Amino acid sequence: MKIGLAQLNYMIGDFNGNFEKMKTAIEKGIAENADLILFSELSVCGYPPRDFLEFHHFINECSTIIQKLAEFCGNKIAVVVGAPSKNPSKNGKDLFNSAYFIADGKVQFLAHKTLLPTYDVFDEYRYFEPNHSFDIFEFKGKKLAISICEDIWDTGEENPLYKINPIAELAKLQPDILFNLSASPFNYNQAKKRIDVVRKNATAFNLPVFYCNCVGAQTELIFDGGSLVVDAKGNVIDEFDYFVEAIKFYEINNDNTITQNSEFKIQNCSSIQLIHDALVCGIRDYFKKLGFKKAILGLSGGVDSALVLVLAVRALGKENVLSVLMPSQFSTSHSVDDSLKLLENLGSPHKIIPIKEVFDVYDKILQPHFENKPFDVTEENLQARIRGNYLMALSNKFGYILLNTTNKSEAAVGYGTLYGDMCGGLAVLADVYKTQIYEVCKYINKDEEIIPNHILTKAPSAELRPGQKDSDSLPDYSILDKILFEYIENRQGPDEIEAQGFDEALITRVLRMVNRNEFKRHQTPPILRVSPKAFGSGRRLPIVGKYLES
């Protein structure tokens, strides 16, 4: 049997566009004399559709595409494709998250997802009824089992999330091949975990596994692909490239060994390279799927805005990214010089719009109302908000999307100004810690100096008052980021963090800053997710609370 895997970039709700992508893959499969092509989870409608699933029209559109696929395939090829299906029972949720096996012009078999994740960014039990029964089917002399994404992730760890192992249930029926349709979001640890999980299932149940993941970004969620073919002994036969679409074919022989039809290239990427590639993918798809082409950002001479500029240029093209330099009376000369050198290296356009004149007008008008109180964070925030207004005005006038340059360290402790440097249409770096920012910049500079070295070596500063440095307000990032990582990613409390050798007073200060600034994070743009625990839908905390306040 010749099996194809189609790792494609879908768009949520773009039914015709998704169909055309699958149609192209099917045509290629027919040309390759393939027997079957496997697509990814909810590929008909795109993943995650979220509350679109509550609209009957949306579900009917999915059904229409399933029928179109069946008609197009006819008796030339079979497909396994993901889409919601209606629950015929009045009991339980109205929908299943399903895989459709289509052959000979009609749906021959339906498999439903058993394990419906409700952790981190997932909320599938909100919409779907879990599968309650297990079955396999025969095709071309092979008994096939179909699973969907989470169903393969229960591999017998000490603290499993679920009480049932769907693959173990399917294995009792003695299938020859296991298919898995996935929409598994990227984080920088996911690729290694994915291979481990698929290999464990293959060896535990002595089954070759064909695992098809989607690729591309859906707002804040990024999908890296990395589709896999693993034989029954756990050998990785092939791993697809990350962040690109691909269609590949494999022969599964009578003895269930697998013959690959293309050269297998091991993906050996560092977490920093993966973060870089994911962010470029996230920017590119956010703009493409929204129908925008041009970005704008404030270029400060600091490392964060420098990195966002490079990533945006790589995603959108140098001519499509406008940098705006907005020096004040507190800006150092090297901030402008460093920015201009970076722009020269990239060949990207820019504007210089000083803010002092407008700031002085604000200051003059407000001074009588400030009751002669001294310069403080109020005047600092005024500068950030003037810059935000400049950027939003240019965005409105010319149709740019404003890229936010806040990093995760700043977002965590609230080191940013609402309606100032925290505004924008997309937060590119808000899931990347400051220490990781420098590592990504070093990766960018590995072959040549694109980001000027002085940007990477000077002390970070918001330059909102004379001689200001981030270290005036925050602990050193090398320490801060470690505490934040333990609290945010590892969900460790103050006692557990202190046991790792950190100062008790510093821990208390940092954790209080994180909790007190939840209100700011609720007002930030969508954050591209690259870590196992990002701010946004995957981290849900109350704005009003008293945890760790006493």
Residues 297-311 have a mean pLDDT of: 97
Residue 460's pLDDT is what? 80
Domain 2-268, what fold?
A: Nitrilase/N-carbamoyl-D-aminoacid amidohydrolase (3.60.110)
pLDDT of residue 407: 97
Pairing of strands 350-352, 401-404: unpaired
DSSP 27-89: HHHHHTT-SEEE--TTTTT-S--GGGGG-HHHHHHHHHHHHHHHHHHTTT-EEEEEEEEE--S
Please name the amino acid found at residue 541.
L
pLDDT at position 328 is 87
Domain with CATH 3.40.50.620 in the chain: 273-470
Query: DSSP letter at 141?
Result: T
Strands 209-213 and 177-182: parallel
Position 259 scores a pLDDT of 85
Query: Across the strands, what pairs with 252?
Result: 258
Q: Tell me the per-residue pLDDT of 480-491, one tens digit each, with 9 for 90 and over.
A: 999 999 999 999
CA separation for the pair 215, 419 (Å, rounded): 33
* Position 260 confidence tier, pLDDT thresholds 50, 70, 90: confident
Reply yes or no on whether the pLDDT at 469 is more than 90: no
Residue-wise pLDDT for 42-89, tens only, equals 999 999 999 999 999 999 999 999 999 999 999 999 999 999 999 999
Determine which of 254-268, 366-380, 505-519 has the lowest per-residue pLDDT on average: 254-268
Residue 94 has a pLDDT of 97
Q: Which active-site residues does the annotation give?
A: 41, 113, 149
**What pLDDT does residue 459 have?**
83
Cα 49 from Cα 55, distance rounded (Å):
11
Angle between helices 356-366 and 377-398 (to 10 degrees): 130
- Which range is least confidently modeled, 29-38, 150-159, 224-233, 317-326? 150-159
Question: Are the beta carbons of 445 and 451 closer than 8 angstroms?
Answer: yes
Q: Which residues 6+ apart lie within 8 Å of 455 measured at CB?
A: 301, 302, 303, 306, 338, 342, 441
- C-alpha 179/C-alpha 245 separation (Å) is 19
- What per-residue confidence (pLDDT) applies to 266? 65
Q: Which CATH number is 273-470 given?
A: 3.40.50.620
Start and end residues for every CATH 3.60.110.10 domain found in the chain = 2-268
Q: Which class for 94: exposed (0-12), middle (13-18), buried (19 or more C-beta within 10 A)?
A: middle
Rounded to the nearest integer, the mean pLDDT of the chain is 95
pLDDT tier, 265 (very low <50, low <70, confident <90, very high otherwise): low
The pLDDT tens digits for 334-348 are 889 999 999 999 999
